[in-house]
Amino acid sequence: MGNGLNGESFAVTRKTRSRSSRVTRFGTKLAGLALAAMLLMPPAAAFAAEPEGSGVSPAVGEVLDWLSRVHVSGTDRSALEAAAIKGMIDSLGDPYTQYMTAAEWNQFESSLEQRYVGIGVRLEQDERGFLVIEVFAGSPAEAVGMRAGDYIVAADGKSYAGKTMNELTAAIMGTADTKVDVTYVRDGDTKTSTMTRKPVAIQTVSGSRMEGGAGYIRIDSFSSDADELFASKLDELEKQGITSLIVDLRGNPGGLLDSASNIAKRFIKDGVLIHTSDRNHVDDPIRLSGGSTVAYPVTVLVDQNSASASEVLSGALQDYRVATIVGTVTYGKGSVQTIYSIAGGGMLKVTIEEYLTPNKHKVNKVGIKPDVEVTGEIAQTIKAVHLSGVADVTIRQQPGGIVVNGTPFLERLNVIRDKGRVYVPSRTLAALVDADVAWNGDTKSVSIAAGGFSASYATGDDSGKFVDGTMYVALDAFAYAFDDVTWSDDAGVLTLHGVGSSRR
Which residues, including other chains, have CB under 8 Å from residue 16's CB and lie 6 or more apart? 22, 24, 284, 338
Kindly name the residue from 308, 310, 426, 456 that is annotated as catalytic.
308
First-to-last C-alpha distance (Å) of the chain: 38
Q: Are strands 98-100 and 23-29 parallel, antiparallel or unpaired?
A: unpaired
Give whole-number Cα distances, 461 to 7, 420, 454, 483, in Å. Answer: 44, 15, 17, 21
Asked if residues 28 and 52 have their Cβ atoms less than 8 Å apart, the reply is no
Active site residue 337: yes
Q: How many residues does the chain have?
A: 504
**Coil, strand or helix at 61:** helix
Active site residue 365: no
Kindly name the residue from 208, 337, 426, 445 that is annotated as catalytic.
337
Active site residue 333: yes
Strand residues in 95-201 grouped as ranges (E): 98-100, 115-118, 121-126, 129-135, 151-155, 158-159, 179-186, 189-196, 198-201
Crossing angle for the helix pair 77-91 and 58-70, to the nearest 10 degrees:
130
Crossing angle for the helix pair 309-319 and 257-264, to the nearest 10 degrees:
20
Beta bridge partners of residue 189, listed in sequence order:
186
Looking at residue 418, what DSSP letter applies? Answer: E
Kindly name the residue from 233, 333, 349, 465 that is annotated as catalytic.
333
Catalytic residues: 308, 333, 337
